[in-house]
């Protein structure tokens, strides 16, 4: 028991250091959040034009529910999307910083996850005020779920989305064991996440055949899934299936992160890192 408590203490201190380091960049975060809201203005004008042109609704979305959808994606992405983590991990590997961590009785994955959590906490703390202002401005479009279970399932799905995002980010950073510059790989995956994760448009306005494929990809569960649960667009059997697949991707991404670390570390030590 004392061993586990001392281990928890180690990661808590890493979390605390991450908190302090991240707070130094709070203005960067604030400005990033502010500029992150600029696309919302474009989105508002775009969908306003679409719905005025065609009238009525689009696959169950009308103008107000579409705006609400984008407000929720902004909120959820601020809670779950890693910032700078892959570059920091790649720098640790490239500059040999991991050597000092390898001598400590500490899992590098857990170490980085502690830093990720502290970063998300500060990021959320700094970015929620401007997001709150936007939500207040668009308050007429907000319809809160009446069922308390929806809030619980949304929270569980957001948590799993954060884990999946982190494990994928961590795995991508592991390519730094083999290649000097991981930027291309990261941006390719980011592009898929942006287009197939629901940030650009709701996945459920796509043709059903495309949706059926996208539901089996991890990107669907990185952002769209918790938003769709909160909006009541995933219900009953579809909701159960979505949470089951999201859990599957959580396990797979965790296994991939561990496998990439082991293989990368083996290569690193073999070439005398």
pLDDT tens track for 256-270:
999 999 999 888 877
State the burial class of residue 87 (Cβ atoms within 10 Å of its Cβ: 0-12, 13-18, 19+).
Answer: middle
pLDDT at residue 19 tops 70: no
Q: CA 134, CA 118: separation in Å to the nearest integer?
A: 25
Give the range among 13-17, 198-202, 251-255 with minimum mean pLDDT: 13-17
Q: What is the mean pLDDT of the chain?
A: 84
pLDDT category at 155 given cuts 50, 70, 90 is: very high
Which residues share a beta bridge with 86?
A: none
**Sign for the pseudo-dihedral over CA of 160, 249, 122, 230:** negative
**Lookup result for tokens 């957001």:** 158
Residue of 117 and 158 predicted with greater confidence: 158
Q: CA 11, CA 3: separation in Å to the nearest integer?
A: 13
Furthest-apart CA atoms within the chain: distance in Å = 66
Give the range among 20-24, 32-36, 92-96, 124-128 with minimum mean pLDDT: 20-24
Q: What is the pTM (predicted TM-score) of this model?
A: 0.84
Q: CA 60, CA 23: separation in Å to the nearest integer?
A: 41
Q: CA 62, CA 140: separation in Å to the nearest integer?
A: 14
User: What's the pLDDT tens digit per position in 53-85?
Assistant: 766 677 778 888 888 998 899 889 888 988 778
């Amino acid at each position: 028991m004392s061993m586990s408590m001392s281990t928890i203490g180690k990661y808590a201190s890493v979390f605390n250091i991450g908190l302090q380091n991240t707070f130094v960049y709070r203005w960067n975060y604030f400005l990033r959040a502010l500029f992150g809201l600029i696309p919302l203005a474009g989105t508002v004008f775009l969908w306003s034009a679409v719905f005025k042109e065609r009238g009525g609704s689009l696959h169950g979305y009308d103008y107000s529910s579409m705006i609400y959808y984008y407000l929720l994606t902004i909120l959820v992405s601020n809670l779950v999307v890693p910032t700078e983590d892959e570059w920091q991990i790649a720098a640790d590997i490239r500059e040999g910083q991991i050597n000092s961590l390898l001598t400590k009785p500490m899992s590098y994955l857990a170490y980085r996850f502690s830093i990720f959590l502290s970063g998300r906490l500060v990021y959320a703390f700094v970015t929620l005020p401007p997001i709150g202002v936007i939500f207040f401005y668009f308050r007429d479009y907000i319809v809160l779920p009446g069922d308390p279970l929806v809030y619980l399932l949304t929270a569980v799905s957001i948590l799993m989305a954060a884990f999946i995002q982190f494990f994928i980010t961590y795995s991508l950073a592991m390519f730094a064991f083999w290649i000097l510059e991981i930027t291309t790989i990261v941006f390719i995956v980011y592009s898929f996440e942006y287009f197939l994760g629901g940030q650009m448009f709701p996945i459920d306005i796509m043709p059903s055949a495309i949706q059926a494929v996208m539901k089996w990809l991890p990107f669907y569960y990185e952002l769209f899934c918790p938003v769709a649960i909160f909006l009541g667009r995933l219900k009953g059997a579809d909701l159960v299936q979505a949470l089951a697949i999201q859990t599957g991707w959580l396990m797979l991404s965790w296994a991939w992160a561990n496998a990439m670390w082991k293989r990368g570390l083996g290569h690193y030590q073999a070439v005398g890192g």
